[in-house]
């Protein structure tokens, strides 16, 4: 059940969209020179603002009330990047000179969360932009919104929280059916998939090793990146996996190769070359619509020696991360786990869109001047 105040808001707003001609809500083709004008007249963006506001409202309610997590206002500059630094990442940090200090735009809030969890907080979250510098495409923006949480506990404990969050977002979208009717590529398919998510007790899981083997057995080796340090599955490989698994619901892929993920991911007890992490993949709702990884989560390394070992294995200097490693030496330190969900990716998937630029109000794209 949605909170009453959220439900009332959505139902009240829905009257503005009910029984409207869907044609007037079609997303215009993106143009950097004309986007600011599109925002003034295309009703698609009006509907998108409403939808995004409901998702933000539900996110705050779920974490603050249901999960007793505290919202943290974080920095936008950092000397220590987190998510893009793993060798298997397709992300790139954005460097910036801040006075005479070499800094980066924030790629993830995780590093800002972990110190606070040593001070008596058990769960913290945020809903903030993340900036990354890789080339943009239909599934990558250079600025996107991240809902992230970090908590005291293990990955086993964080996964049900993630699944609960996705179910709450599904409830919000179903309540906003009048908006879905005018901006989803196929609102019936969207609603059917969201209803099925609500019926799931837990999402299915597959190991990274089994996922690789499945692709290999089906002559899809070209979708796997083999390196001397481990393997990665490409974005196209994720979509192929969904087909091979005949997935109609999100699926967890667990325990990636250690040296292809960030150094702070904790190795499994059974295999020091695997880590306790997972990506949640979503199957496309329509042919050629958005799918693949939308959520990433992991359990953080608690052993100082193992952390130095991971940095050395990945040829990464420990100097920018000495402060982070030192947290493990503090008397109040406990193992933490966390996750990040890409808001635009979730919306793009749910609306069965094929381009992530269509689900952000102000796309920020590498090398492209956009007004304002």
Q: Is the pLDDT of residue 85 over 70?
A: no
Q: 86 or 157: whose pLDDT is higher?
A: 157
Model confidence band, residue 97 (pLDDT cutoffs 50, 70, 90):
very high
Model confidence band, residue 84 (pLDDT cutoffs 50, 70, 90):
low
User: What CATH topology corresponds to 4-359?
Assistant: BirA Bifunctional Protein; domain 2 (3.30.930)
Q: Kindly list the domain boundaries of the chain, sorted by start residue.
A: 4-359
Tens digit of pLDDT for each residue in 201-217?
999 999 999 999 999 99
Tens digit of pLDDT for each residue in 174-185?
999 999 999 999
Contacts 24+ apart (CB under 8 A), 227-232: 227/87, 227/260, 229/87, 229/257, 229/259, 229/260, 229/313, 229/314, 230/87, 230/88, 230/256, 230/257, 230/258, 230/259, 230/260, 230/273, 231/257, 231/260, 232/88, 232/257, 232/260
Tens digit of pLDDT for each residue in 266-320?
999 999 999 999 999 999 999 999 999 999 999 999 999 999 999 999 999 999 8
The two structure tokens encoding residue 127: 């809903």
Q: Is the pLDDT of residue 15 over 90?
A: yes
Predicted confidence at residue 82, as pLDDT, reads: 81
| Angle at CA of residue 197, ends 84 and 252, nearest 5° | 40
Tens digit of pLDDT for each residue in 111-148?
999 999 999 999 999 999 999 999 999 999 999 999 99
What mean pLDDT is predicted for residues 59-69?
A: 98
Model confidence band, residue 80 (pLDDT cutoffs 50, 70, 90):
confident
The two structure tokens encoding residue 99: 């006075």
Q: Do the bridges between strand 95-98 and strand 70-71 make them parallel or antiparallel, or are there none, so unpaired? A: unpaired
CA distances from 291 to 9, 201, 248 (A): 29, 21, 11
Least confident of 1-5, 164-168, 272-276, 354-358: 1-5
Q: Is the pLDDT of residue 20 over 80?
A: yes
CA distance 20 to 67: 37
Share above pLDDT 70 across residues of the chain, in percent, rounded to a whole number? 99
Mean confidence (pLDDT) of the chain: 95
Q: Is the pLDDT of residue 350 over 80?
A: yes
CA distance 257 to 186: 37
Q: Is the pLDDT of residue 90 over 80?
A: no
The pTM score is 0.97
What mean pLDDT is predicted for residues 18-45?
A: 95
């Amino acid at each position: 059940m949605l909170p009453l105040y959220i439900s009332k808001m959505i139902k009240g707003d829905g009257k503005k969209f009910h029984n409207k001609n869907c044609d007037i809500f079609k997303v215009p083709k993106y143009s950097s020179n004309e986007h600011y004008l599109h925002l003034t007249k295309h009703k698609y963006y009006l509907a998108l603002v409403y939808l995004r506001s409901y998702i933000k409202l539900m996110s705050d309610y779920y974490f603050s009330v249901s999960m007793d997590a505290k919202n943290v206002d974080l920095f936008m500059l950092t000397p220590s990047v987190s998510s893009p630094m793993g060798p298997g990442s397709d992300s790139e940090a954005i460097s910036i000179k801040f006075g005479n200090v070499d800094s980066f735009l924030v790629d993830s809030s995780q590093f800002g969360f972990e110190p606070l969890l040593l001070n008596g907080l058990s769960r913290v979250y945020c809903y903030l932009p993340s900036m990354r510098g890789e080339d943009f495409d239909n599934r990558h923006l250079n600025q996107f919104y991240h809902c992230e949480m970090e908590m005291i506990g293990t990955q086993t404990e964080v996964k049900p929280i993630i699944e609960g969050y996705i179910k709450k977002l599904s409830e919000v979208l179903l309540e906003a059916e009048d908006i879905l009717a005018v901006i989803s590529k196929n609102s019936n398919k969207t609603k059917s998939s969201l209803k099925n998510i609500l019926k799931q007790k837990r999402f299915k899981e597959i190991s990274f090793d089994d996922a690789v083997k499945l692709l290999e057995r089906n002559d899809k080796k070209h979708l796997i990146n083999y390196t001397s340090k481990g393997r990665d599955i490409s974005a196209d490989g994720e979509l192929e996996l969904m087909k091979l698994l005949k997935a109609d619901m999100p699926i967890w892929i667990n325990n990636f190769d250690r040296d292809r993920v960030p150094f702070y991911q904790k190795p499994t007890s059974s295999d020091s070359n695997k880590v306790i992490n997972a990506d949640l993949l979503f199957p496309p709702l329509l042919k050629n619509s958005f799918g693949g990884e939308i959520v990433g989560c992991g359990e953080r390394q608690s052993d100082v020696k193992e952390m130095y070992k991971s940095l050395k294995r990945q040829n990464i200097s420990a100097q920018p991360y000495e402060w982070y490693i030192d947290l493990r030496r503090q008397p109040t330190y406990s193992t933490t786990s966390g996750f990040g969900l890409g808001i635009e990716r979730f919306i793009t998937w749910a609306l069965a869109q094929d381009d992530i630029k269509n689900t952000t109000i102000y796309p920020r794209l590498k090398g492209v001047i956009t007004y304002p």
